[in-house]
Structure 1
Amino acid sequence: MFLKVDETCLPSEVDDLPSSPCIVVCGSSPLTAGHFMVAVDQTIVNGSVPNVVDALTLMFAAYYCLNISYPTELGGTLEFLQRCLFKINPEKGTKRERKASKKQQSVNPKRCFTAVWP
């Protein structure tokens, strides 16, 4: 989901991008980075995202608008974001890729809650 690069890295200099949508963090940490980039299909699609919230929203929008299945290693995290942060709660089904050996559980929408910040 996150790929860290140097603060001064240009979009054309980013290597080893995954084929699934991801956030490129320009700095040492998502909490302290000066800016972000969003990549889809090994290509930077937005090279100047000002904050992590906008980057997360753009990355999620790429998954949803382009109908890309969530990778197995990020399925639970992205489904949690889908249901609890973005309030997209389908009655059935999931965008997670199927694992052959394990039973797949979706996030129970009754267990999701909205935190109220003061």
Structure 2
Amino acid sequence: MHTDEQSYKNTDRHSGMSLYDEAVSYLVIIENEIVLRTNEVIQGILMLVLSYYVYGYNYSPEEASSLEFIQRMLLDINPEKGHKRGRKNSKYDRDPKAGSLIDSIVELV
């Protein structure tokens, strides 16, 4: 077993008081293997979203709207075709919930 994986499995996942607590570290775990680690929340979010592209995974249905919002609005990754939502036959180029929120924010600016 990988040392990082051992420490992950033995870690109290509620040890930090907030996302910005100095004691908190952020892990990207793929197939029960820690592949990336950082102590910075923004870097952790960036690594999470980009990992889907690097490793070729699709967003899970439960997280798709949130991750697509982060991808499109905060990271400005807006492919003309395709998405990481997993439903290949989707009639939408972007997630309707994320798209609606993005449109509302853009209208305010």
TM-score (norm 2): 0.65
Given the superposition, is the C-alpha separation of residues 33 and 73 from structure 1 closer, same or farther in structure 2, using an over 3 Å criterion? Answer: farther
Contact 2:22 2:39 in 1 (8 A): no
Count of matched residue pairs: 94
Residue 61 of structure 2 corresponds to residue 67 of structure 1: no
Residue 28 of structure 2 corresponds to residue 34 of structure 1: no
User: Which is higher, the Rg of structure 1 or of structure 2?
Assistant: 2
Cα offset, 1:26, TM superposition: 5.6
Q: Where does structure 2 lack aligned partners over 5 or more consecutive residues? A: none
Aligned-partner residue type, residue 108 of structure 1 = G
Higher helix share: 2
Contact 2:69 2:99 in 1 (8 A): no
- Share of identical aligned residues, percent? 29
CA distance in 2, matches of 1:26, 1:40: 22
TM-score (norm 1): 0.61
Q: Where does structure 1 lack aligned partners over 5 or more consecutive residues? A: 1-9, 16-23
Given the superposition, is the C-alpha separation of residues 25 and 45 from structure 1 closer, same or farther in structure 2, using an over 3 Å criterion? Answer: farther
Higher strand share: 1
RMSD: 3.3
CA distance in 2, matches of 1:33, 1:97: 35
Equivalent residue, structure 2, for 1:21: none
